[in-house]
Structure 1
């Protein structure tokens, strides 16, 4: 029935954009790419970055890595421009608020001058007015100091946020350099050293598969969660499933049954999702664990997360050391939570508790 609808109508465009996504998902990359490139109006049904990500995945599936790379560059430029605009807007607002506070101080000083001039005319009456004026000035100065301190705190928080983003970019650059780049170099050397065409094909495919898994792991770590159409439980289940597929390590996730996940606010859900990402990543990188068990229980007051793994005691177990664990500690502070690590005969236990109200 879709062909009976005008091809440029919103309904038809939405159908074709969904069809392109499904073709990509089942591996029909050429069909998906044909739909995306045949009608420029399809771009109006998808966000700019999502359209180029889908196009890049199709080119990657077809082996056209040059086109895939170009589309991913468009995504990075777009997302960086949005982030840069947001930071500039926030700094502009802070600057405007600081100017307003300066004007308030000038007004307070002017009131003080006027009070002194009136004192020479009406000594007895102005005495009381002067006292009142001084009290008002003192209050104004105290309020001004509080506002200045608040602005300084906001500026420090903004700088820390930017520094955190820079550290995350450095970490990503290091992962790409030490992982993907070195793996690609290894693939090139293997191709140069192999004399048999069949051995060359087998080894090259195996190496490229390892590189693909590494890139997928990095992308999953960076992808922000979207709680618009799902909840914390589904997001965590999907994440643990993907990490198990990528790492080959058994990750057993057991949520408490009959839990109303929709009652958990998006803010707390986002922070918990990032905390579990960092915790799982630390276990996979540092402990040589073979099995990870995760249980989540929610009651009227608390959200309780129990993580157990059979690996070694992490050398970064102290929350005062390591960027990742400092990030966990900072996130827990914003949602009234705590984080505790203990070791027993069966492995390592991590206890996370968040106060919901």
Structure 2
């Protein structure tokens, strides 16, 4: 399947602005445009004749290259695969000379299709793969999609269905993203073809029918026949001959004027011949088969032995058994000759390769004997140089890694200081400053209560100073520090805190930085719970299971949190907690359920 013609012609016009091509008024160039239109419309004979006429006018190299490319496509659609390969190879050499990447990619696909239909699967795959690599290197997404579609068909015909389906689905998604309707529909047809070859006829119809109206609106005959062939074969296999007759009428209109040796037409004619046989209309079936054989058309989809076997079956159904036997013998003779030709070709290639290998081995042995000592010294020097180079690279990388780690550590430390400053600023502003202001006002009216309130201010400042003092995790473990912190909070604030720590876990194995950040998260979330929660107990748990360390702080939702203004939901508190979790690559989640606010930190323990 070729690219969208208007885009292809636009690219050609840009390329033809070189000195070799004068203007779009060039008669050969105008004929090229007409050849492309005839090809798209299905008039292959007209396209071929016009392309040959234009080539006789000795056009500029760029125009000549694309005329040959269009001619190769025409020959493929007409079933003349060997001729198509020869024309495409000549065009490709010219495209290389011109450095015309689009032409080279287009020709890679054309040659691959011709080789595939000639049964030369390996040669076809080489063309497709090299074309895809070129398209990737040139960032040409459209030809990459086109060539991946070609690979899909090749894998499908080779019964490598899993790979074929993978390529088809990937190509359909890429074509959809690129807004390439022709290639997207072609990929969908390939998916239906894969299901058909697996005898999953209903799955094939489910893949094809939703796109049928869009295919008709596009009006590209080659694509339309591709869809119709799969739909007709699927309905025929399911025994729905009414649907077959309905779609066959549309197929007859599309095929009108198209050459019988077109691959798409052959697929429809094969379905038509099979349907005539199922309807016991053997005379009409025989006439159709004879017309196909008389056209001399054959390729991988419609090999000569297949047509002869179909004719033999038809003659047998007509009780012309002697003729049926003769044609069946001819079919087996053709099949045997094809296999024998393939074997002889393979043996010939093997003999040439074997003799060449013998000569190369003799020369290599002679050179090895005369240069062995010199090579040993050379390799020794090379090995030493490489070793020194590898060591130097490793030392350099280690040094760079150490510098990056140090820089990251310093940056993390600075970020931590900034976060702590933000939190301290909030605590001083919302807590200590307001408490001092309240005490000052109370001193003028109620000195006794002011003194009691001043004691509360003192305890709050003292608690804040304890929180600011970082523990030394080089000498203590996280569980010990948390127990000490909870005890201090309970003593100073009189708040009931339930603490659960997994004693089976080796807390000394936790890295110091991780322990420090977890401790600060517990401090922050506990302070939030005391400030914004109700007066129920605060639950703190540290558990280790399934390779994860889970830290949970839960408290009742207070009145200040009922309207959604809890500090852990947004603001300084949430930012501080999230930054600390990010530093140790931990997951932080906050949830509310059953009037309880729950903060959970999950840290993945490294296994040794």
- TM-score normalised by the chain length of structure 1: 0.48
- Who wins on radius of gyration, i.e. which is larger? 2
Higher strand share: 1
Which structure carries more relative contact order (alpha carbon 8 Å, separation 6+)?
1
- TM-score normalised by the chain length of structure 2: 0.31
